[in-house]
Amino acid sequence: MGPELRHLRYLIAVAEHGNFTRAAEELRISQPTLSQQIKQLERAVGVQLLDRSGRGVRPTDAGTAYVHYARRALRELAAADRAVLDVADLSRGHLRLALTPTFTAYLVGPLVRALHTHHPGITLDLREMTQDRMEASLLADELDLGIAFAGTHLPGIAATDLFTEPLGLVVGAHRAGTRGERPLPVRELADQQLALLSADFITRSHIDEYFVRHRIAPPIAVEANTIQALTEIVRRTAPLATVLPLAVTDDDPHLGTIPVDPPLPTRVATLLRRGSGYESAAAHAFTALVHDLVRTRGYAPPDPRRTAERPAESGRRVMRESST
């Protein structure tokens, strides 16, 4: 008798837990049954897959290779199940989407509204996560799409540029009109008290690089690890300003911006997907909605010299957008 799907799931559980007891508890079967099923699998493949000689249980070399392909097989089977259930007319469906934190502040609301308006039968699993974790989850088929930033991506990730996201000096609305359209010279920004994202965010690294490039060191009065905290602070604390994507102010009557000369940095927002494998009708529909929303809201297009869709590159970013 050849291996069955339950054998693959059982082996993966034991390999992950390093213990038959905990794996059996997770699988909700008895430990003797689990041990018997693993032995059946080993007899079927003709090789020992688990080393039981130590205090814990770990895969043998052959077991490590087998677990790798077992995980891949289960991912592909899950994709096949979704393909069978996928409905081309989008009367129902499910989308697993992740965004890096800055997009949550201004993009997620309009996107979800558009999705619910045009395709109310599609349910959404929405997550906020770092770009490293997002790309790993896409490759593991735990996500359908992600919205993050352009750069060097993990092998197997395909990226489509969406729009250019400029950073700007964000203040309370009552203060924004005091200068009219006159930009704030960068030398005056050196004296501006700021509330900024913490160093865990790649946004902060872009800001700090700008400061270094222009040889200024504005006083940092507040550091926070959420954009909501920063926007609330500058709404209520007139002397403070923050640096965030300018789009954060689009739908907020209590926030405004002051232009800076030279302008603060920009970066390119990208739509990420697994480069191979099944893509659902829901994912296709959402991709179209994203592009429509970008045009409707007037976000600046990416540099046309960049490729519209870029295959995965082999390097890694030094730092990613983080929410921690």
pLDDT higher at 323 or 227: 227
Region 52-74: mean pLDDT is: 89
For domain 166-266, which CATH number applies: 3.40.190.290, 1.10.3720.10, 3.30.390.30, 3.40.50.970? Answer: 3.40.190.290
pLDDT-derived band of residue 256, with 50, 70 and 90 as boundaries? Answer: very high
Dihedral of alpha carbons 7, 13, 14, 15, sign: positive
* One fold for 88-163+268-310 and 166-266: yes
Q: Given this model, what pLDDT does residue 276 score? A: 80
Q: How confident is the model over 66-88, as a mean pLDDT?
A: 79
Better pLDDT: 76 or 106: 106
Q: To the nearest whole number, what is the mean pLDDT of the chain?
A: 87
Q: What band does 92 get if pLDDT is binned at 50, 70 and 90?
A: confident
Q: Where are the domains of the chain?
A: 5-84, 88-163+268-310, 166-266
pLDDT in the model for residue 313: 41
CATH architecture of 88-163+268-310: 3-Layer(aba) Sandwich (3.40)
**Greater model confidence, 3 or 317:** 3
Sign of the CA dihedral 294, 299, 303, 304?
A: positive
pLDDT of 166-196, one tens digit each?
Answer: 999 999 988 876 656 689 999 999 999 999 9
Task: Give me the mean pLDDT over the 132-138 stretch.
Answer: 95
Closest CA to 193 of 252, 246, 238: 238
The CATH number of the domain covering residues in 5-84? 1.10.10.10
Query: Pick from 126, 151, 147: which is nearest to 317 by CA?
Result: 151
Does the structure show a pLDDT above 90 at 308?
A: no
For residue 80, the model assigns a pLDDT of 75
